[in-house]
Structure 1
Amino acid sequence: MTRFSYAEYIALFRSSDTKRNSSPQKISSSGRAANRDEEVSSAVRRAEACDSDDWTALHEAAHRGQTHCVQALLTDPGMCVDKRTLQEQTPLMLAVHGGHLECVRSLLEAGADPDISNKNKEMPLYKACEQESISVVKLLLASGAAVNQRCYRGWTALHEAARRDNTELCETLLRAGAAVDARNTDDITPAIEAARHGHTGALAYLIQSGAGVNAQTCDGNTALTQACRHGHTETVKLLLKHHTDANEATNAGLLPLHIASQHGHKEIVSLLLPITSRVRIRQSGISPLHLAAEHDRRIIMSLLIESGFDVNSKLSQECSARFQDRRVSALYCAVAARNTRAAAVLLKAGANPNMDPFSPLLLAVRDGCLETVALLLEHGAHVNARPTAGFPAVLLYTHQLDVLQYLLDHGCDARTCFTCSRHHSGEHTHFRSHTVNTDATKPELKFCDWISSSCWRHSAGRVTDLLLDYVGNVQLCSRIRDLLLDQPEWMSIKEKTCECIMNHSTFASKTSVELHRCWDDHAMVVCLTAEQLNYLKKQSH
């Protein structure tokens, strides 16, 4: 087969793209017409030649909109008008994609099939709607194009017309028999697609033509939920005017009010509040406040609170179980998302900071957010909560000394960190992580276990040194002492523990023998100053 040359072909027919004045055509008609006929004949002889993508001269002419060349090539009795490229594109598809009306007309008159799809199963009619070429659409429909044909994802030409907000296209397709509620593979209808993009004109026409306003997608979304999600206020108004159900939930259980609150669309929330059933909200298991707090929608939160939503409403057990931390409150959602100002709105309105299984204060401490920590403590968060540990749980999550000091200044009980009696005899409990123990059958977590864990050993001296500034009359167990001996804060810790012993009311009554026992016994690890050691030496002689 003779290989077709694009350069030669384009050179032959480039002149067909240029409009000529009538007078020059007449002057040179005999010469140029003869040359053109010779060029056409040459092209026709090579018409079936293909390039590496299986493009023929007809594909190229249709793609370029060269109507004269298309017509000339179609005169060849052996020409295949529906030949496909490697991308399964016919000359008709290429002409439609380029919006070349006369080329489309010539191909259709030559018998081109208007329903041959490309590799993505898109039909020429779908492509014409994508190009918003009403003339091409009408021509294809007049030639018998299937108006409800779908692409590989189930989109129809009407879906594309609605997406483009082209009412004229919608009207043309519907008059040709397009299904007004055609569904794609996700059960999206043209009306839902129009609502998603906020195309009120196309949506109004579709509703007028009988489109269902309460149709749902496979995940339970409606035209209203899509308009609420994307903030299309006028579209929401149109749908409500046509009695769309504002209490239809998605498969996730969310009502349109939930979705509008989550995305922060105040005007839409105001439209939905009077018509949304509070019973349906309770049945959903989640308040719009939870979503607004999580996404830092403070204006929406204030609007919901003013409308009577309870700041202490809890997630249902089913909703709470979706979270590993078993959260229940809107306040927890705000703190978990590090939305301090949203948390402030809730606390000011009376939110309880102590109603979640895992305290929001622990989250704030873990994140090192001193502003949130202060806010929660100011509104009554329990600083000494210890669900399964023998010391305040906030210490488990304190990674910054300034936060720890703030907690201690506001009542965190440091004394409970030094009540260990298990390690006085050399017993050691291996502690692998600093997570809270939730198994009630396991031993209570002690401070020495936690501070000895690999992730905290490097700062054990600094933490212990700071804690000792807030307690008196405490004893260090053997495990803490062994851990701290090689840390730079050990000298400071020695001084503080000695002061604790010197201030102990029973120290003065001990004999020198008893003091020696205290020194040797790991059950009471203390470090004495040089003056005290000299005193012991004198007493022992």
Structure 2
Amino acid sequence: MADTEKRSHAGETALSAALLWEHWEVARLLMDAGAAKEQALCLACARGQAAAVQFLLDAETDIEEGNSMGETPLFLALLHGHWEVTRLLTDAGGVKERALWLAAARGHGNVVRQLLNAGVDIDKPNSDGEAPLFLALLHDHWEVACLLMDRGADKEGRPAFEAKVPLEDAGLTATGRWQAEQLRLRLVAAQQEGSLPQVIRVACSPLRRARETATTLFPKHEVQILDDLAERRGPRGQLLGECNNAAVFGYQ
């Protein structure tokens, strides 16, 4: 039996080629033979093929399954500005919030703006408890973060880190990573006000991880290490918090 998923040099599968040329009977034969409808839907959405999208929706294709990069059909349609395809997907129940999470995490401000204009819940978190603003900050998409805050995103919302395994990538526990993200929020707000601080003061337990942690999370700022972990207050008197095997952050 022929491999229905074998791709041409241009990356086309037999099903995506049949849909591109609107050969519906051939497309039905390929789907009956097991061709992957979901991947074909993602490609059709990226191309703006409204007729092909409708054909696949009528065939009960899963509209929330993403491509190999995790991009959902609705996200792809929005990313490429295919509004008719976007309408078809939303009418079929496409989850706008999932598209917003992807757009925020990848820094696609235009997609974020379109979804917010469509009334998507700006603060709804994903399954990991991460709201769009947190995702934008996590991936250093400052313009998207500012857009979300301008549109009323909750700057105090806390991701559900307590239920997750401690993060090791920057020598931080989950609590420490949360503190770092809160500092990111304050830095973005300061940037908007034109008072972006130049120096980040950091205490970290164990202390040997402090500079590596700070320079990893805040590469654009000068870093000062608090030599005395008993010092709990920053230069403006703000309480930094306890050093219980997590990072403690402040700024000046």
TM-score, structure 2 as length reference: 0.61
Taking only aligned residues, the RMSD between alpha carbons, in angstroms, comes to 4.7
- The structure where helix makes up a greater share of residues is 1
Instruction: Determine the structure 2 residue equivalent to 1:23.
Output: none
Change (3 A) 1:293 1:309: same
Match of 2:31 in 1: 179
Match of 1:361 in 2: 202
Structure with the larger strand share: 2
Q: Does 1:306 align with 2:174?
A: no
Could you list the runs of 5+ residues in structure 1 that have no partner in the other structure? 1-114, 133-154, 250-254, 351-358, 395-406, 411-541
* Aligned equivalents of 1:268, 1:215: Cα separation in 2: 18
Map 1:226-245; keep pairs closer than 5 Å. 227=76, 232-235=79-82, 237-244=83-90, 245=93
Structure 1 pair 179/305, CA: closer, same or farther in 2 (3 Å)?
A: same
Between the aligned partners of 2:203 and 2:38, the Cα distance in structure 1 is 44
AA aligned to 1:157 is: A
Between Structure 1 and Structure 2, whose CA radius of gyration is higher?
A: 1
1:360 is displaced (CA, Å) by 8.4
Structure 1 distance, partners of 2:182, 2:24, is 48
Residues 293 and 331, structure 1, Cα contact 8 Å, conserved in 2 = no
Give the deviation of 1:316 after TM superposition: 1.4
How do 1:429-444 residues align onto structure 2 when only pairs under 5 Å count?
none
Give 2:44's match in structure 1, choosing from 167, 176, 194. Answer: 194
User: Would you say the 8 A contact 2:137–2:181 is kept in 1?
Assistant: yes
Q: Structure 1 residue 279: deviation in Å? A: 7.0
CA distance in 2, matches of 1:344, 1:158: 49
Identity rate of aligned residues, in percent? 17
CA distance in 2, matches of 1:347, 1:319: 30
Contact 1:289 1:304 in 2 (8 A): yes
Output the CA distance in 1 between the equivalents of 2:102 and 2:222. 27
Aligned to 2:109: 266
Name 1:223's counterpart in structure 2.
Answer: 73
**1:40-439 aligned within 5 A:** 117=2, 121=3, 130=8, 157-159=14-16, 161=17, 167-168=20-21, 170-171=23-24, 173-174=26-27, 177-179=29-31, 184=36, 188-195=38-45, 198-201=46-49, 204-211=50-57, 212=60, 214-217=62-65, 222-225=72-75, 227=76, 232-235=79-82, 237-244=83-90, 245-247=93-95, 255-273=98-116, 274-277=118-121, 280-281=124-125, 285-317=129-161, 320-321=164-165, 323-324=167-168, 325-327=173-175, 332-333=180-181, 344-347=187-190, 361-362=202-203, 365-367=210-212, 369=215, 371=221, 373=223, 377=234, 381-382=238-239, 385-387=241-243
Is contact 1:215-1:223 (8 Å) kept?
yes
Aligned residue pairs, count? 215
1:52-93 CA-to-partner distances (Å, cap 9, x unmatched) read xxxxxxxxxxxxxxxxxxxxxxxxxxxxxxxxxxxxxxxxxx
Q: Can you list the C-alpha shifts for 1:128-161, whole angstroms capped at 9, x where unaligned?
A: xx378xxxxxxxxxxxxxxxxxxxxxx96104x2
Deviation at 1:258, TM superposition (A): 1.0
Q: Residue deviations 1:288-310, cap 9 Å, x none? A: 11111121111100110011112
Cα 1:307/1:248, change in 2 over 3 Å: closer
**Structure 2 portions without partners, runs of 5+:** 194-199, 225-232
The C-alpha deviation readout for 1:36-66, integer Å capped at 9, x for no partner, is: xxxxxxxxxxxxxxxxxxxxxxxxxxxxxxx
Q: Deviations over 1:325-382 (max 9, x none)?
A: 11487762487xxxx7x762145679xxxxxxxx9833695236593547x9567654
Question: TM-score if structure 1 supplies the norm length?
Answer: 0.32
The alpha-carbon distance between structure 1 residues 275 and 263, as it changes in their structure 2 partners (threshold 3 A), is same
Structure 1 CA distance, aligned partners of 2:32 and 2:85?
Answer: 16
Contact 1:262–1:288 (8 Å) recurs in 2: yes
Work out the CA distance in 2 between the residues paired with 1:213 and 1:238: 18
